[in-house]
Structure formats: C-alpha cells, structure tokens
Amino acid sequence: MVQLILLFQIILKKRFEGYGWNYILINGHNEKEIFKALKNVQKAKKPTVISCKTKIGYGSPNKSGKASAHGSPLGLEEIELVRKALNWNNKPFNIPDKFLKEWRKIGQRCEAQEKKWIKIFNKNKTKFKNIKKNNLIRILKREKRNAILEPKSLATRKCSEMTLNALTNQNHNLIGGSADLAGSNNTKTKHHKIIKPGDFSGDYIHYGVREHGMSGIMNGIALYGNLIPYGGTFLIFSDYCKPSIRLSALMQKRVIYVMTHDSIGLGEDGPTHQPIEQLSGLRSIPNLNVFRPADRVETIECWEHALKSSKTPSILSLTRQSLDPIRKSFTNINKCSLGAYEVLRTNNKINLTILASGSEVNLAIKTGHKLAKDKIYCKVISMPSMELFDLQSKLYKNKILNETKFKISIEAGSSDCWKKYLGSSSLTFGINEFGKSAPYKDIFKHFGLTISNIVSKTKKMIGN
C-alpha cells in the first residue's frame, strides 16, 4: 500500500509538472510546512499545486486512517482520547483568545485594501447600475417589435445572440462567457471586451474547455452582488455543470446558462452530443427555470424573465436548426412568463390539445393544420417553461389543459416530464433512447417526429 501511495505521488507530480506548474508536497498536519509552502507560492512565477498529505481522523487513537472516521461520529469516549492526544483542553466551540486575536489581526490588516477597493468601486459604480435602470424593458420591447416586423426563420441560438447584442450595448453588468464554444453557442457579441490577464476591464470570459469550472465561477460572480453572469455550452454538457447549477438554485442566485444544440436537431454530431434525458433531469431541480423557446419572440421573452429573476437561475435551451416564427403580432405581455399559452386554434370547438416546446412547436402547428383538413380540430400550446406554468393559478392551468379529453405532447427528448399534463387519453411523441448520427430531418423521421406519423397515431387514438 505504501508503495502504491508513493507511485501515485510521483505520477501526480509529473502530471502537474507536465502542465508547466510547480508542485510542492507537504505534510498537511505540519503548520510550519504549510506556512513555508504558502510563502513560496506568493513568490512563484507560475501556477503551483500544494499537495497536502493528511490522515483522516488525525489524532484519534482508534479511528485515525479508517473509513469510520468519515462516515460516523467519533463518539464521546473517542473525543476525550483525541483531546488528550492533541493536548487540547478548551471547551467545545470555545476559541482560545490567542487564536482569536491572530485572526482579528488578519482582518485588520485587510481594512486598508477594502477601503481602497471601495474608492475604486464608487468611482466606477455607474458601470454597475442595476439592470432595470438600464432600460431593459425598453430594449427588449424594441427587439420584440423588430422580430414581429422582420419575421425570419432563425435558430434560437441566433435569436439569443441578437437579444444579447442589444442588451450588451448598454448593460455593463452582464458578464458573458463560454466554455470554448463561443462561435457555436453565439454568446459573444460585437460589444464584448475580453477579460484577460492584466486587463479585467472587459465583460466576456473565455473559460476554456471546462464547463464545470465555468459554472462554479459564474456562481462566484453572482454572489459578488450586482453582476449578472451568463455562460454558454451545449445542452448535453449540462451534466458537467450539474453540481454548480444545483448550487445556483440552492443559493437563489441569478445565473443564466445558455445551452445550445438542444436536441437530435444538431444532426451528424451523433448520440454522444444529442441530449435526451437532460431536459427532464434539469426540470427536476427545485428553483430552476428551464426555458425552451420556439422562435425569436419567445427567446426575447425568456431572456427577459431570466434577467428579472433575481432569486432563480435559468437555463435557455436553444436550437442549432432554424425555426419559423410562431408569433405574428406584438403584445406587451410576456407570454413565456405564463409558462404555456395558446399559439394556434383551428376551430372554436376543438377535441384535441397539442403541447410542445422549442423546435417542436413548429411541428405541432403544422400537424394541427393537417388534422384540421380531416376535421379534427385542435389548439396548439407552446410550453417554453414547465416551471412557470406549474406556478400559474388552477383556473389558468385548467384552461390550458382541461378543455379537451384528448391530448398529445411533442418534444425531441425524454417524454417522462410531459405525462403529468396528459391524462389517460393521450400520446407522447418523444425520444426515450439514444439518438443517431444523420442529417437532422432524417433523424426526426427515424424517431417518428413527423407530421404524417403524429397525424396517423392521433387519428387512431381519437377513433377517426
């Protein structure tokens, strides 16, 4: 065992030296070695890892170095033995005066640095104004009008970029970034300035290929105060971000995750990059809003809600493929804030409700028109956010869900999260297996996400 530990230490040392780092191995229980290592780091000209070798349960005669020191309390008798071994005679939770004085000296030593920082902040505080004071509503209303006046088929990742381009022109407290995918997730705009070594005056961070690190850093930025961080990657890589996403929600912080390539619609990158279960998993996290907009107007509204949600993080799940506009007229109401709303009704009297999100809203609308030709009339509901819909009144939810006996859902991902809305007379059109590598239209056909397949199965369900 000792030989294995030594071999591991050698491998670890070579690994970090290969990165171009310094590597220092110390006894983590020796305060003099710790102090010396930290002094060396302060003078170092390259990154340094300090490897502190410690023993779990240090000082415990009977449990030191054992799993029981981790998984269960030491117990009163063992605690007394630890006190004797470490020559510790102070009462529980009592901090000796000599330690308390030293810690307070450290705090006093930093008071001058704090005063210096406050002066810098006050001098530049106009750059960090609250986003509401930066005419957010006016900017987003203008963008919505433009989207209605100039309807185009666009990928929602592009719609997001257009929204960000308008926002970052005036808002300096939006700190953007990407995990080495800025060109794919469209998170960097022409107004951004890169934050880099020696120059921290910018507002965009190239995080490198490190989604987990990016998400942790964004949490730190959000904790700072009035800065609003957003960062981009592919939806499939949300798995790397999950611990930090969960912490964003737990801490009630406004962190915005821009996650593109949100379905099998990304095509030839194949099943390793095609998210299936990710949306269902993310929707199960408490205090997290997962948005899947269907066009440019919905994308703008989802961004608006995300920016206003000061105590809730958000995920914007965006497409690679272009989508036709579904919203034809302007309204001041943020319909996406309702979570779900009607986008098509083929007759006053209907017998079918079609629920869909994101790219599949286009498919649902086309399916609705096709069914109408066979005298099966429906309404199509766009559901960009299940979380926000679940917060609506019982009356509104009944209006959306309970007008018809027959219901279907369409989403290019796991169908589990839709079943709570459907009831017994229903069908789910989704994907509950891994994807395929092919042009995206071929993959949609392979998985039955086509007008003809949905119409055929729906007619059988209704008995037409």
Indicate which residues carry an active-site annotation: 211
CB neighbours of residue 138 within 10 Å:
10
Q: Cα–Cα distances in Å, from 15 out to 10, 11, 21, 41?
A: 9, 6, 9, 18
d(CA 383, CA 410): 10
Contact 247, 274 (CB under 8 A): no
Q: How far is CA 221 from CA 139, 175, 234, 317, 458, in A?
A: 24, 8, 21, 22, 48
Secondary structure, 3-state, the chain? CHHHHHHHHHHHHHHHHHHCCEEEEEECCCHHHHHHHHHHHHHCCCCEEEEEECCCCCCCCCCCCCCHHHHCCCCHHHHHHHHHHCCCCCCCCCCCHHHHHHHHHHHHHCHHHHHHHHHHHHHCHHHHCCHHHHCHHHHHHHHHHHHHHCCCCEEHHHHHHHHHHHHHCCCCCEEEEECCCHHHHCCCCCCCCECECCECCCCEEECCCCHHHHHHHHHHHHHHCCCEEEEEEEHHHHHHHHHHHHHHHHHCCCCEEEEECCCHHHHHHCCCCCCCCHHHHHHCCCCCEEECCCCHHHHHHHHHHHHHCCCCCEEEECCCCEECCCCCCCCCCCHHHHCCEEEEECCCCCCEEEEECCCHHHHHHHHHHHHHHCCCCEEEEECCCHHHHHCCCHHHHHHHHCCCCEEEEECCCCCHHHHHHCCCCEEEECCCCCCCCCCHHHHHHHCCCCHHHHHHHHHHHHCC
In 3D space, the residue among 224, 227, 223 whose CA is nearest the CA of residue 248 turns out to be 223
Closest to 158 in 3D by CA, of 352, 21, 363, 299? 299
